[in-house]
Amino acid sequence: MSTEQTGALHPGEHLDHEHKPRGITRWLYSTNHKDIGTLYLLFSLAMLFIGGSLAMVIRAELFQPGLQFVDPHFFNQMTTVHGLVMVFGAVMPAFVGLANWMVPLMIGAPDMALPRVNNWSFWILPCAFAILLSTLFMEGGAPAAGWTFYAPLSTTYSSDSTAFFVLAVHLMGVSSIMGAINIIVTIFNMRAPGMTWMKLPLFVWTWLITAFLLIAVMPVLAGVVTMVLTDKYFGTSFFDAAGGGDPVMFQHIFWFFGHPEVYIMILPAFGIISAIIPTFARKPLFGYESMVVATASIAILSFLVWGHHMFTVGMPVAAELFFMYATMLIAVPTGVKVFNWVATMWRGSMTFEVPMMFALAFIVLFTIGGLSGLMLAITPADFQYQDTYFVVAHFHYVLVTGAVFGIIAGVYYWLPKWTGVMYSERLAQTHFWCSLVSVNILFFPMHFVGLAGMPRRIPDYALQFADLNALMSIGGLLFGLSQLLFVWGVVRCMRGVGDKASDRVWEGAQGLEWEIPSPAPYHTFETPPVVK
């Protein structure tokens, strides 16, 4: 681990190099990894609230049984666009933003490998989402086939929004692939002298592997949406048995992308947690090498488990068994990680600032999500759970209390480095506790209604689920409101309100990013530091 290294800066180096461009073009034309990182993070925050508003529509409709506010078709549009916005607009860009900010600082690089391409990757994203969100206002409405857009829902039975959806996904893919290439090459080629592979902070390692996954599977997503497009508009029948194709083939190709995609959304969070826990436990990370190996094995295994999303579709028994065991195998490296985090804290001198609180919540709640995943991985059991709220509970535990909590933890952790001021601990603790309680009110009961048989993606439900659904809707509203506290805290720091942060910020923090001043100068490491 990089904990012992002192990123010896040669004295008198260009850290005062502050000629920032001014005005709007600073952001439009930027080649600065910090500015582009900020853009990504702000974009992601905006998407979090757009996606959140759609979720509010869903929860409002589900507050009571029966149809109150929206018709079923519109409800489907809400679940679909909510999923797409959160996955591709909120979670992924947030991680890319964190990578932009932190990877060059952590490895002692002057910037990303190709700064202009970096800017292009970012600005494609708002364009892609402009296309996607414009479908909400189109005749026939937005895509309504779910974020997984299974054929034939997305082909035979879809509106013309399909074409816009497909092209929007293509743009997101271009953005992600170029962004990932930039990150991977930065890590391969831009490490400061002495920053050997086994000294890389774990956030860098996890992003390296994430970037590999992105480059490997985003093109497959591009392929499958292209087939959806040609099936709908050009008379092909990839997913139509009458032409010799097979709708199940859609699921195979989609989930070959889809399962690595869920790891794309969690591996960087593992990296963040692996940075935060040692800082606040004031101990080096336990089992650094095993963390690296576990991350790599998760990535490799993630290519072999896609069938666990298709247990009920009618695969041969041999395939069902293969996917069941392969999926369970993933729990081993995941367990190694959880074990290592806990072992890092063992006999540490812990303090509980907000990044640590979110990290602790992450460990507990992500593990709940992992365990429900293991239940889902049991093929015969999944015949019962498939397409119920139990699945919804599973992936919200891993994605909201996992990925999103990881992002929030990282933002609080590095915010003082970015802005030069400490966030308000009281405000942030309030944010934490409100989020923690409300998120569990929102998602925990989903396990119960799911096991009892409440199907997902349906605007109405049987009467016996009414009480819990009302409770969940209240939890959802509270969780959404709690995030306003987050925005408030972040905006305060961005405006420079708060105590001045020291360079190291946290007593136990280790690594190159803490050797430079707070706020981080506009240009850093123009001459590489020597890592000992």
Q: What residues are annotated to the active site?
A: 82, 111, 147, 175-176, 259, 261, 263, 274, 308-309, 334, 337, 456
- Binding test (CB under 8 A) with other proteins, winner from 39, 62, 96, 184: 184
- Binding test (CB under 6 A) with ligand HEM, winner from 209, 265, 292, 363: 265
Instruction: Name the phi and psi angles at 197, rounded to 5.
Output: -55, -45
**Which of ligand HEM, other proteins, Cu ion, none lies near 373, with the C-beta cut-off 5 to 8 A by kind?**
ligand HEM
Q: How far apart are CA 442 and CA 439, in angstroms?
A: 5
Q: How far apart are CA 385 and CA 380, in angstroms?
A: 9
C-alpha gyration radius of the chain: 23
Quote the tokens at residue 337: 């990680």
Give the DSSP H/E element, type plus range, for residue 123.
helix 115-134
Total interface residues for other proteins by CB under 8 A: 81
Q: Is 266 a binder of ligand HEM (CB under 6 A)?
A: yes
Q: How far apart are CA 425 and CA 515, in angstroms?
A: 23
- Binding test (CB under 8 A) with other proteins, winner from 8, 16, 29, 71: 29
Of the pair 373, 420, the CB lying nearest ligand HEM is at: 373
Site string for ligand HEM, 218-257 (x = CB under 6 A): ----------------------------------------
What is the nearest approach in angstroms of other proteins to the Cβ of residue 128? 7
What is the nearest approach in angstroms of ligand HEM to the Cβ of residue 255? 9
Q: How far apart are CA 97 and CA 108, in angstroms?
A: 17
- Binding test (CB under 8 A) with other proteins, winner from 115, 284, 517, 521: 115
Question: DSSP label at 77?
Answer: H
Quote the tokens at residue 273: 């947690």
Site string for ligand HEM, 338-377 (x = CB under 6 A): --------------------------------x--xx-xx
Q: How far apart are CA 243 and CA 237, in angstroms?
A: 5
* CA nearest neighbour of 12 among 454, 389, 526: 526
Distance (Å) of CA 162 to CA 128, 166, 499? 14, 6, 50
Q: How far apart are the first and last CA of the chain?
A: 12
Of the pair 49, 522, the CB lying nearest other proteins is at: 522
* Side-chain half-sphere CA neighbours of 385 within 13 A: 24
**Which of ligand HEM, other proteins, Cu ion, none lies near 316, with the C-beta cut-off 5 to 8 A by kind?**
other proteins
Q: How far apart are CA 156 and CA 418, in angstroms?
A: 49
Site string for ligand HEM, 401-440 (x = CB under 6 A): -xx-------------------------------------
Q: How far apart are CA 250 and CA 148, in angstroms?
A: 10
Q: Residue 449's Cα: distance from chain center in Å?
A: 26
Residue type, 240: D
Distance (Å) of CA 64 to CA 56, 199, 463? 13, 54, 9
- Binding test (CB under 6 A) with ligand HEM, winner from 148, 226, 230, 290: 148
Instruction: Name the phi and psi angles at 388, rounded to 5.
Output: -110, 175
Residue type, 167: L
Q: Is 382 a binder of ligand HEM (CB under 6 A)?
A: yes
Q: Name the one range near other proteins by CB under 8 A: 174-182, 365-373, 415-423, 426-434.
A: 174-182
**Which of Cu ion, ligand HEM, other proteins, none lies near 386, with the C-beta cut-off 5 to 8 A by kind?**
ligand HEM
- Binding test (CB under 8 A) with other proteins, winner from 1, 105, 131, 520: 131
What is the nearest approach in angstroms of other proteins to the Cβ of residue 193? 5
Q: Is 337 a binder of other proteins (CB under 8 A)?
A: no
Of the pair 256, 389, the CB lying nearest other proteins is at: 256
Q: Is 425 a binder of other proteins (CB under 8 A)?
A: no
Q: How far apart are CA 493 and CA 65, in angstroms?
A: 43
Which residues of this chain interact with ligand HEM, rule CB under 6 A? 148, 262, 265-266, 308-309, 327, 330-331, 334, 370, 373-374, 376-377, 382, 385-386, 391, 394-395, 398-399, 402-403
